A and B are shown apart, each in its own frame.
Chain A
């Protein structure tokens, strides 16, 4: 498979702290790729570099054959990368529907078209019945799915999900897992996710990258990665397997 996203030797330093250290990996087109690792490993920094929030100090990020490192977040989104935030940030005073319409309008000039598209996305994420509610009135699981919906409405080729399962109950987790798997299978959406919930990672990911102190300590298919001694020592712990 071709790489949709190619990360080559990127680093980011905050003052003295090396948050991401010469990281290299490929996300194959149509795949689901997970990044795991302990807190402070540099996962969100990595995401922010891909999404255009930070410019890497070194290295190259290529998306669909085009260099994207250093682009602004809106330009990255326009190229076809959608993202969610670890701490959800829907537009609180807007309705669920309007939140998603904002995303849909990125590639649509007509508000009526955008609304139609928003409704499709809302149905996919089981939020259609709540479309007239204000985003601020939603529960956390609903807000997490709204965040995914808004991002999905921009028609991304690659979706960056920053801990969308964190804080959810197992049934809610399974619900999102099945929605994501369906999106990946039916529309060929490539997904790059950061996740702590191993249950979701194991169910979804085709490949896993393990970060520790900003560097990759293991990469491969899930079955191999969870048996890797370095990964067990630094992150998973023996009893998880």
Chain B
């Protein structure tokens, strides 16, 4: 039903491109060095979250500047359950998703019920994420500001159930997640709800007078986006094995999440992926290159992000994908 029209209006050229991309990504670990693999993991991580964020902003037009909240809630929930009760991350995910979604419902209800829109909505999302950061600093059950650690050992085999293993396992998990998120987002865009979201994004009052219950559909966007994002948090926790509120919930984390989709193209399906590749890929290359010539400049990555964002906003205000699609002859609407 929902996925029956996935291939509608998809050109042959696009299919070939997608297939090639998939093959390259699935084969990459066989050729990549350890370092390159960690970069690819980061790229997929940001591509996945960017896709989730895009549902709220790119589809439904609600700007969240606090998505670190959902990452953090997912990470802390699953890690705490594992550390305290030995509950595995997949079961933890089943708890993390509702918790993150509930936080989204809280923000969404406050904002949409009391007509807090635009920048004020964005400020509210920052405020709740900051509130969580300070709150978790003093939350003894998750070890407060001294950090929550997962037991680490030298893993020789990959335990997919407990997510204990080598980077390549995380790579494939994130790759599958990113592909599923992409397909899911396309199905959403093609659905009745997808049309309603775009209408709300374009003109909320006109959407209402076309019979759309805007409160309901905005809430659904927030719930889906926050729930999806919490999965990335679970992966974060089990990949890094340490969690500090100062890092996880920090606003710079939220900003990192949204840069990819903005550079790649807000509201497009390929935007978050291209943005993640470009920003993470190029900034890591830059750092590696600087390192190779003996320069270790703290903050070089942030400066690089700034320059990228500036260039894209000036030259391609709609992001890279709409422009790239035209250049590649794929511009027939990508939905």
Contact = CB atoms under 8 A, between A and B. Distances in A.
Interface of A: 51, 53, 72-74, 76-78, 83, 85, 89-95, 98, 101-103, 105-106, 108-112, 114, 150-151, 154
Contact of A91 (B5, B192, B206, B208): B206
Interface of B: 5, 190-192, 195-196, 198-199, 202-203, 205-214, 333
Contacts, number: 75
B196 A102 contact: yes
A77 B207 contact: no
Contacts of A106: 210-212
B211 A85 contact: no
Nearest to B194: A111
A88 to B, nearest CB: 9
B191 A111 contact: yes
11 contacts: A51-B209, A74-B212, A83-B209, A85-B206, A89-B205, A92-B202, A102-B195, A105-B196, A111-B190, A111-B191, A111-B195
A87 B212 CA distance: 20
A74 B195 contact: no
A35 B271 CA distance: 49
B334 to A, nearest CB: 13
Contacts of A93: 198, 202
B228 to A, nearest CB: 22
A231 B24 CA distance: 76
Contacts of A109: 192
Contacts of A111: 5, 190-192, 195
A146 to B, nearest CB: 11
Given A89-B205, A102-B207, A94 B192 contact: no
B192 A73 contact: no
B331 to A, nearest CB: 12
A108 B203 CA distance: 21
Nearest to B1: A110
A108 B192 CA distance: 9
Nearest to B335: A98
B5 A74 contact: no
Nearest to A79: B211
Of B190, B195, B211, chain A has the most CB atoms within 10 Å of the CB of: B211
A114 B206 CA distance: 18
Contacts of A89: 203, 205-206
B205 to A, nearest CB: 7
Contacts of A103: 210-211
A72 B207 CA distance: 12
Given A85-B209, A89-B203, 20 more contacts: A72-B208, A73-B208, A74-B210, A74-B211, A74-B213, A74-B214, A77-B210, A77-B211, A89-B206, A91-B207, A98-B198, A102-B195, A102-B199, A102-B207, A102-B210, A102-B212, A106-B212, A109-B192, A111-B5, A111-B190
B210 A150 contact: yes
B267 to A, nearest CB: 8
Nearest to A107: B211
A57 to B, nearest CB: 21
A110 B1 CA distance: 9
B195 A105 contact: yes
A111 B192 CA distance: 6
Contacts of B192: 105, 108-111, 114
A103 B199 CA distance: 10
Contacts of A85: 206, 209
Given A98-B195, A101-B195, A102-B196, A73 B202 contact: no
Contact of B202 (A72, A94, A154): A94
Contacts of A95: 333
A72 B204 CA distance: 13
A98 B203 CA distance: 14
Nearest to B213: A74
Contacts of B209: 51, 53, 73-74, 76-77, 83, 85, 151
Contacts of A154: 210-211
Contacts of B210: 74, 77, 102-103, 106, 150-151, 154
Contacts of B212: 74, 102, 106
Contacts of B203: 89-92
Contacts of A78: 211
User: What are the 10 A-B residue pairs with the smallest beta carbon separation, nearest first?
Assistant: A91-B202, A77-B211, A106-B211, A73-B208, A89-B206, A102-B199, A73-B209, A74-B208, A103-B210, A105-B192
Nearest to A147: B206
Contacts of A51: 209
A38 to B, nearest CB: 25
A20 to B, nearest CB: 19
